[in-house]
Structures are given as C-alpha cells and as structure tokens.
Amino acid sequence: MSLRHGLLGLLADGPASGYDLLRRFDNSLVNVWPASQSQLSPELNKLARDGRVEVVEEGGRHRKTYGITEAGRAELRHWLVEVPPVRAPRSEALLRVFFLRTLDPDEARGYLRKEAAAYRGWLDHLEQLRDELPWSDSGFDRFGRIALESGIRTAAALIEWAEWAEHETEHRPAGP
Amino acid sequence: MSLRHGLLGLLADGPASGYDLLRRFDNSLVNVWPASQSQLSPELNKLARDGRVEVVEEGGRHRKTYGITEAGRAELRHWLVEVPPVRAPRSEALLRVFFLRTLDPDEARGYLRKEAAAYRGWLDHLEQLRDELPWSDSGFDRFGRIALESGIRTAAALIEWAEWAEHETEHRPAGP
DNA sequence: GTGGTCATGTAATACGTTACATGATTTC
DNA sequence: GAAATCATGTAACGTATTACATGACCAC
C-alpha cells in the first residue's frame, strides 16, 4: 500500500493531477519508490472512491486535479505513526553473491569489482543531487535531504563492502 | 526471475526436493530473498519443463528430488556473468521519511528513533548469525559470510544515519 | 489411532511493468 | 496542420502473499 500513501503524502503538499504527481514521483521519490503512470490512474480513482482524495478541479485535456481530504490526511498520519514499516530487503545483487562459488575465482572477483563500480556510480549520482538541487528550507526539501543522506551513506558502505569482498576472495583456495 | 535463479543456485550445491529447498531458503537466503513454499512448487515444475532441472529420484510421501542439469548450470552462469543485477532499492521506510514533515517535530523524531532501534535489532540479529553459525570453509559458507557482512555494514550505516537524522530535526524551526 | 512432520499443489488476491489506446491543447 | 506535450485510462503479463487442500509416513 505504499503507492497509495506515497500519493497521499504528495497531495498533502497541495492539489495536483495524476500527471503532476507522476512528475513529483519522478523528481523526488524515484530513488525510494518508483511509480509508473499506469499505476497512478487506477490508484487515484480508488483513493477517490474511498474518500481519501477528491477532484477539486476539472481542467482542459481531461485534467482532473485532486486534493487530499481530511480522511486522507488521517489515513496518511495513521500509516506514518501506527503502522510499522515493512522491511523487505530483497536484494538481487546480494542473492548473486551466494552463488559466486559456482564461478571461477577470477569471475567472482570481476562481479564484485563491477558491483563496487555500480555503487560508486550510484553514490556519484546522489552526491550530485545533493550538491546541485535547489534545496529550500521547506519541510519537503528538508526531509528529502535527510532521505538522500540515507542513500549516500548506504552507497558508501556498500562500496567499501564490495572492495573488501573482492579482496577477501583473493589469495585463498576454495574449500570443499 | 530471481527465484528461478535462486533455486538453480541452491541446486548447484546438490540435489534436493522442494521441501529441502524451502529450508535452504529459510536458513541462508531468507535475509536477501525470502520465498514461500507455494512459490517453489510451480517454479520447480517450470524449471523441469524448461530442462533446467530434472527429477533424479522419487521417494515416499510424494517426494521428488531435483537435480540441476547442464542447461541449468549454463543458465545460472549466464545470469551471474552476463545479466546486470536489477537495483530496485524500493524502501518503504525511506518513503515515509519524505512525509515526516506532515507530523509534529516530536512525532517525526519518534519515527526516526524507532527506525534506529529497528536497524539496531537487525544488526544484532546479523551479528549473532555471524558469531553463532557453524561456518565451514566451503564456498557456500564463504560467500554466505561475505553476503552477511554486506547486511552488517548496511545496518551499521543506517543506525548512524537514523541517529544523525533524529538530531538533524532537533532545534530547527520548520521552514515554509 | 492421533498428532506431528514431510511433501506437493492450487486458488484468490495484490502489486508492478510494459505496451497500447485515446484524445485535447499548445507550439511552430 | 504537424509534432510535441499534456492527460487519463485499459489490458496482458509476471511475480509475491496468504490461505487452503491433499495426502504419506512416523512416533507415541
């Protein structure tokens, strides 16, 4: 139900159309919760049926501007305060690590080296966002920066891990 | 397709039934790729249809023991070496951070404090695994330990982040 | 013979991705 | 008037979760 609450959270900032919301997702939330246009459409209709949002304006080009309702704010708040986050740290990249034993040591090291490079690219990207985005003092930007910092620290830790892991697989014969 | 390759990777270690594989998932892979019994059943049949595994033994209690085929090993290898991992770092916990601005500062700090505690619990769990598991020198255990280390370092980074973030939201009036 | 564990399978539901369909408005 | 952009919606497909169904074998 995270998409649902993502939409409510964005609408808590002010009314928007599905199209606007898609861009907000792509600008700010894409690194933590990507969403596609074809998901927003039905989800917004569902939120409207449930009374969590309402159409506050209908413009040209079929545009429907949605606003959050009191019931929507209550649900958002309830989700944030009462519902414990699901931690489902599925990681395909890490799953592969378990199976590196089926490769030659050189190939395994190659995989870890590529991992390190990929995390470095991700870190560069996030640091660029941090340094180049026009951060305001608004609550949205403040917490956006805090979320970004989480990604930066995680990426940094994973770079070090991948380099350590590559080194760890060197100079050691495989066991039975 | 990670479940598929997770099964192939486990079978690369030796033949097993779906039931055995479920336990292997729950023992070793659960932290990176949880799987349920009802997923394994159809996936193993599909792998058998595709010639990636084969039934090498049928025992009592409907038990079917699967072994990986050459085609299965080839697919596993191809996946590991050629297919770049999907990095889909969806994080519900981090999504919430964006919306903490809709709460009172005290409540927002409470959320971050709970996050820190949750990550600490996760770290404790992983360190306990590291210290208590009977690690052998086998390739499986070596890379399992390397994967575990990734979780430990990530958890440590996230604890520090959550504590930093909690402090960051103190002593500052919210902007517009 | 009863309860526990081994063992596989199906069905309903939910969520996410990709691709496609449709049409209005603006810009050149 | 053609192309780009705005704007919403549907359909097909793949995958994950939960719950349920079925039955064999073992230990007591």
pLDDT digits (tens, 9 = 90+) for B117-150: 999 999 999 999 999 887 888 888 999 999 999 9
Identity of the residue in A9, A86, A118 whose CB atom sits nearest the CB atom of B99: A9
Provide the domain limits for residue B136: 92-171
Q: What is the CATH number of the domain that holds A46?
A: 1.10.10.10
pLDDT digits (tens, 9 = 90+) for A154-176: 999 999 999 999 999 986 665 55
Q: Is the CB of B41 under 7 A from strand C?
A: yes
Establish if B108 belongs to a structural domain.
yes
Establish if A164 belongs to a structural domain.
yes
Residues B117/A24, Cβ–Cβ less than 8 Å: no
Establish if A143 belongs to a structural domain.
yes
Establish if B86 belongs to a structural domain.
no
Taking an 8 Å cut-off on Cβ atoms, the answer to whether B86 and A107 are in contact is no
State the average pLDDT over residues B67-71.
Answer: 98
Establish if B87 belongs to a structural domain.
no
- Residue A135 sits at the vertex; the CA angle it makes with A133 and A138, to the nearest 5 degrees, is 150
Establish if B32 belongs to a structural domain.
yes
Taking an 8 Å cut-off on Cβ atoms, the answer to whether A101 and B165 are in contact is no
Q: Do residues B44 and B96 share a domain?
A: no
Which nucleotide is nearest to B62 if distance is taken from CA to C1'? C7
Q: Do residues A72 and A108 share a domain?
A: no
Establish if B176 belongs to a structural domain.
no
**How distant is the Cα of A59 from the closest Cα of chain B, in angstroms?**
28
Establish if A87 belongs to a structural domain.
no
Q: What is the dihedral of CA B137, B143, B148, B150, to 10 degrees?
A: 140
Give, as ranges, the nucleotides of chain C with any atom within 7 Å of a protein CB.
6-11, 14-20, 23-26
pTM: 0.94
Final residue in a domain of this structure, among B58, B81, B104:
B81
**Rounded-to-integer distance, Cα B82 and Cα B15, Å:** 25
Q: Do residues B101 and B163 share a domain?
A: yes
**How distant is the Cα of A131 from the closest Cα of chain B, in angstroms?**
18
Q: Do residues B102 and B67 share a domain?
A: no
Number of domains in chain B: 2
**How distant is the Cα of B63 from the closest Cα of chain A, in angstroms?**
25
